């Protein structure tokens, strides 16, 4: 998940739509409509919410811990490990018959403080130990992992520079994490995960070049995770273009963090609500159709980043307010127009 939403100004306009699509009537659960798992993220604080639990159990069959399996939740200042919160998420998935997707082993934005000041040998040893012990703990429970999260620079100009790359190498720290994770759990499906891959063609291309480099080096990378925090104003065909390019590697593809904000970073947003909804529906339709056009064995899962609009990370930012509607269900658990776009695309 990006630290902030990067929104492009785009030329796309949906001329044929005069108003917002209406919310769909009740339908079959999403997990019964797609030929692959349908995922959702969540945090342990939501487990006590009966409405949230009911919705998640009914609609989804894969679970991604939004925070509790990240390094920030597991790694203590002395580099010992606390699995209490991660275990709670794994237990929740198991109780509800949901496949567990681990997120994320290595992320540029976490881990700097506990590793600060270490000599290179200790740094490398404890990096390996962290990846090994976390992966091994959930062997047989987590079917997959985002091994390295968000490796490409914000604008697509190469890779990010951070504490992991500076100590272990720009490419080598990525290869190392995949190698160690694969050794710890040979059955886990291992993903490279990033955002703005559809929104920014330059970044999408840089990401796929990294995938190619890793594959040529013999890295055990099994899948591409595209977060799909969609900018609803991007040009028609941009999402489909990225999926066509990504599919050529033959790897599994995970739509890993889908949402589609109706808001814009523009200082003044004069778009009427109907246009925003039409743009959202068009982009989500294109994403769903592009995913469904993949070969059967490449469709790993279709995951949304929150069950209800009120659960979305986009509505937690005080600067943004709480009025965004980027997900498939509203605060009451009723399907939104975005849900209707997904279902219509499947039909």
What gap in Å lies between CA 58 and CA 27, rounded to an integer?
Answer: 12
In a domain, 145, yes or no: yes
Looking up residue 53, the CATH number of its domain turns out to be 3.20.20.80
Instruction: For residue 56, give Cα distances in angstroms to 11, 38, 62, 266.
Output: 36, 10, 9, 34
Q: 15: Cβ–Cβ under 8 A, 6 or more apart, which residues?
A: none
Q: What is the number of domains present in the chain?
A: 1
pLDDT of residue 26: 54
pLDDT of residue 264: 84
What gap in Å lies between CA 102 and CA 3, rounded to an integer?
Answer: 19
**In the chain, what percentage of residues exceed pLDDT 90?**
86
In a domain, 212, yes or no: yes
What gap in Å lies between CA 314 and CA 307, rounded to an integer?
Answer: 13
Q: What is the pLDDT of residues 229-283, one digit of tens each?
A: 999 999 999 999 999 999 999 999 999 999 999 998 877 888 898 999 999 999 9
In a domain, 62, yes or no: yes
- If we measure between CA atoms, which residue out of 176, 151, 336 comes closest to residue 260? 336
Q: What is the pLDDT of residues 108-153, one digit of tens each?
A: 999 999 999 999 999 999 999 999 999 999 999 999 999 999 999 9
In a domain, 266, yes or no: yes
Q: What is the pLDDT of residues 304-337, one digit of tens each?
A: 999 999 999 999 875 555 689 999 999 999 999 9
Contact 195, 229 (CB under 8 A): yes
pTM, rounded to two decimals: 0.92
Rg (CA), the chain: 20
Q: What is the pLDDT of residues 41-55, one digit of tens each?
A: 999 999 999 999 999
- If we measure between CA atoms, which residue out of 44, 92, 37, 36 comes closest to residue 62? 37
pLDDT of residue 15: 32
pLDDT higher than 60, residue 189:
yes
- Domain span including residue 39: 30-346
In a domain, 315, yes or no: yes
- If we measure between CA atoms, which residue out of 234, 313, 251, 278 comes closest to residue 40? 313
In a domain, 5, yes or no: no
What gap in Å lies between CA 235 and CA 227, rounded to an integer?
Answer: 18
In a domain, 13, yes or no: no
pLDDT of residue 267: 75
In a domain, 234, yes or no: yes
């Amino acid at each position: 998940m990006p630290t902030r939403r990067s929104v492009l100004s785009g030329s796309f306009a949906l001329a044929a739509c005069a108003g917002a699509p209406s919310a769909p009537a009740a339908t079959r659960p999403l997990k019964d409509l797609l030929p692959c798992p349908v995922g959702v993220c969540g945090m342990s604080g939501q487990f006590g919410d009966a409405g949230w639990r009911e919705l998640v159990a009914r609609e989804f069959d894969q679970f991604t811990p939004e925070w509790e399996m990240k390094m920030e939740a597991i790694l203590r200042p002395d580099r010992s490990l606390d699995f209490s919160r991660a275990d709670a998420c794994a237990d929740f998935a198991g109780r509800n018959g949901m496949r567990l997707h681990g997120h994320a082993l290595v992320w540029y934005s976490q881990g700097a403080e506990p590793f600060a000041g270490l000599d290179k040998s200790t740094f490398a040893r404890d990096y390996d130990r962290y990846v090994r012990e976390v992966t091994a703990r959930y062997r047989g429970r987590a079917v997959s992992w985002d091994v390295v999260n968000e490796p490409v620079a914000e604008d697509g100009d190469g890779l990010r520079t951070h504490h992991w790359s500076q100590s272990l190498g720009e490419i080598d720290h990525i290869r190392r994490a995949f190698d160690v994770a694969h050794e710890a759990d040979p059955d886990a499906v291992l993903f490279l995960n990033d955002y703005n891959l559809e929104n920014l063609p330059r970044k999408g291309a840089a990401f796929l070049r990294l995938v190619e480099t890793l594959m040529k080096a013999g890295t055990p990378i099994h899948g591409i995770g595209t977060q799909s925090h969609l900018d609803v104003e991007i040009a028609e065909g941009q999402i489909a273009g990225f999926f066509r390019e990504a599919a050529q590697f033959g790897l599994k593809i995970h739509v890993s963090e889908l949402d589609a904000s109706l808001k814009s970073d523009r200082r003044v947003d004069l778009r009427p609500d109907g246009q925003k909804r039409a743009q959202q529906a068009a982009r989500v339709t294109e994403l769903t159709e592009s995913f469904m056009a993949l070969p059967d064995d490449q469709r790993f899962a279709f995951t949304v980043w929150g069950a209800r609009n009120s659960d979305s990370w986009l509505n937690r930012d005080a600067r943004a307010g709480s009025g965004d509607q980027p997900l498939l269900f509203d605060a009451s658990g009723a399907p939104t127009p975005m849900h209707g776009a997904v279902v219509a695309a499947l039909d």
